[in-house]
Amino acid sequence: MTPEGLKFISKTLKPLVNYHFLYYKTDKVEYPYWVGEYLESEYSAETNYQETTFILTGVTRGSYLELEKQKEIIKKALKDKRSILPSGTGIAVYFDYSMPIRVDDIELQKIQINLTIQEWEV
Q: What is the pLDDT of residues 63-77, one digit of tens each?
A: 999 999 999 999 999
Bridge partners of 62, per DSSP, are none
Phi, psi values for residue 75, rounded to 5°: -60, -45
Give the separation between CA 94 and CA 75, rounded to whole angstroms: 9
Query: Sign (positive/negative) of CA torsion 41, 47, 48, 51?
Result: negative
Does the pLDDT of residue 79 top 90, yes or no?
no
Does the pLDDT of residue 47 top 90, yes or no?
no
Cα distances from 21 to residues 37, 55, 105, in angstroms, run 6, 10, 23
Q: What is the pLDDT of residues 96-120, one digit of tens each?
A: 999 999 999 989 999 999 999 999 9
The reported pTM is 0.90
Does the pLDDT of residue 46 top 90, yes or no?
no
Contact predicate 9/37, CB 8 Å: no
- Cα of 61 vs its chain's centroid, Å: 20
Does the pLDDT of residue 80 top 90, yes or no?
no
Does the pLDDT of residue 54 top 90, yes or no?
yes
Bridge partners of 20, per DSSP, are 35
Torsion of CA 58, 63, 68, 69, to 10 degrees: -110
